[in-house]
Amino acid sequence: MRALRRLIAGFSLLACAVPAAAQELNLYSSRHYDSDRALYDAFTRETGIRVRLIEGDADQLIERIRNEGANSPADVFITVDAARLARAAGAGVLQPFRSQSVEQRVPAGLRDADGMWFAVSQRARVVMYDKEKGAPQGLARYEDLADPKFRGQICARSAAHPYNVSLAASILAADGPEKTEEWARGVVANMARPPQGGDRDQFRAIPAGQCGLAIANTYYLAGIGASERAEDKALFARIGVVFPNQAPGDRGAHVNISGAGLVKTAPNRDAAARFLEFLVTDKAQEMFALGNMEYPAVAEAPLHPALRSLGAFRGEPVEASRTNAHAAQALQIMQRAGWR
């Protein structure tokens, strides 16, 4: 009997000694950055909660969670693009998450009003130009990209990419379908070449003489500026940035976000809550800002010097549901205009 009691006591001690690392969090993410993995490792070191990462296309992950139903192992969903966050909420795969720390640190304009998601980082979609040739005259708004004075100058990636769909959706919301179609046709007429490649390919084409203006996201350019390679530093020094729609009363530069939400059927809700709150801590926000050259969601977080050197700007309010509601029509308009 004494031996049995010792055995039971031993099992009790073992149970108490199980490290917090035995806890697990299942993260479904469409972000594919080394800096994110470093962030997850930092969370595990701090909390003992292991992050099991499942990566994929955002829409495919949303559909996967829906198909898995009540048995889905997903705890947290992270994606790039506000429209896809709204799509996830609309698909019923997220549940409200209320957190004092999230609500105190993330501005209301970067959070869903119903608590379905919140931003963890931001990136601005801007117009880039060749500093050696000077800032483009008469280009202060996205709408100006359709002006015939810029004929044969614009480089842009495919219309179907979420970055361009969200930009066009914001123009559609602001200007209506007729003016948006005029804009899209004007941009296509002003293209220096058929849409191709990614954002980096657009501004790399400027010093190569293939185009004079490029539509691209800030974090791609800032990433070049953070490089130690001489050719990258030279490219960064040569590229200038226009933050459009900055005049008083105008809507501001188009901003898209990466955001996170709590999955409706999360089996590890406590671990998920700790992770979501970790994403807005000083440590995590600094890793987003310095590791991937993104604008943080928390205002006090530091910026990488390369990103700061691009200048300050006022961003357009993020309205994910509105962007998602206009996305399909915006893409149809661009494609009808010949933007492939």
pLDDT one-digit tens code per residue, 285-338: 999 998 889 999 998 899 999 999 999 999 999 999 999 999 999 999 999 999
Residue 142 is labelled as binding a ligand: no
Answer whether 73's CB lies under 8 Å from 265's CB.
no
Reported as type and span, the H/E element at residue 213 is strand 213-217
pLDDT average, residue stretch 207-235: 96
Provide the b/e sequence for 157-192 (b: ≥16 CB within 10 Å): bbbebbbbbbbbbbbbbbeeeeebbebbbbbbebbb
- pLDDT over threshold 80, residue 12: no
pLDDT average, residue stretch 273-287: 97
120-169 pLDDT tens trace:
999 999 999 999 999 999 999 999 999 999 999 999 999 999 999 999 99
pLDDT average, residue stretch 240-262: 97
Do 20-122+255-308 and 124-253+315-336 come out as alike in CATH topology? Answer: yes
User: What band does 80 get if pLDDT is binned at 50, 70 and 90?
Assistant: very high
Radius of gyration of the chain (CA): 23
* 124-253+315-336 homologous superfamily: Periplasmic binding protein-like II (3.40.190.10)
Strands 94-95 and 76-80: unpaired
Please provide the distance, in angstroms rounded to a whole number, between the alpha carbons at the two ends of the chain. Answer: 79
CATH classification code of 20-122+255-308: 3.40.190.10
Question: What is the domain partition of the chain in residue ranges?
Answer: 20-122+255-308, 124-253+315-336
Mean pLDDT computed over every residue of the chain: 93
Q: Which of left, alpha, beta for 311 (phi over 0: left; psi -120 to 50: alpha)?
A: left
Q: Which neighbouring-strand residues pair with 80?
A: 258
Alpha carbons 84 and 14: distance in angstroms, whole number = 44
pLDDT at 22: 57
200-220 pLDDT tens trace:
999 999 999 999 999 999 999
Reported as type and span, the H/E element at residue 62 is helix 58-68
- pLDDT over threshold 50, residue 88: yes
- pLDDT over threshold 90, residue 3: no
- pLDDT over threshold 80, residue 16: no
Give the orientation angle of helix 58-68 with respect to helix 82-90, to 10 degrees: 10
pLDDT average, residue stretch 257-279: 98
pLDDT at 212: 98
Alpha carbons 240 and 284: distance in angstroms, whole number = 29
CA 52 to mean position of chain CA atoms: 21
pLDDT at 299: 87
User: What band does 118 get if pLDDT is binned at 50, 70 and 90?
Assistant: very high
Answer whether 312's CB lies under 8 Å from 124's CB.
no
- pLDDT over threshold 80, residue 15: no
- pLDDT over threshold 70, residue 11: no
Residue 219 is labelled as binding a ligand: yes
Residue 326 is labelled as binding a ligand: no
| pTM, full prediction | 0.89
Instruction: Please give the structure tokens belonging to residue 62.
Output: 């949303």
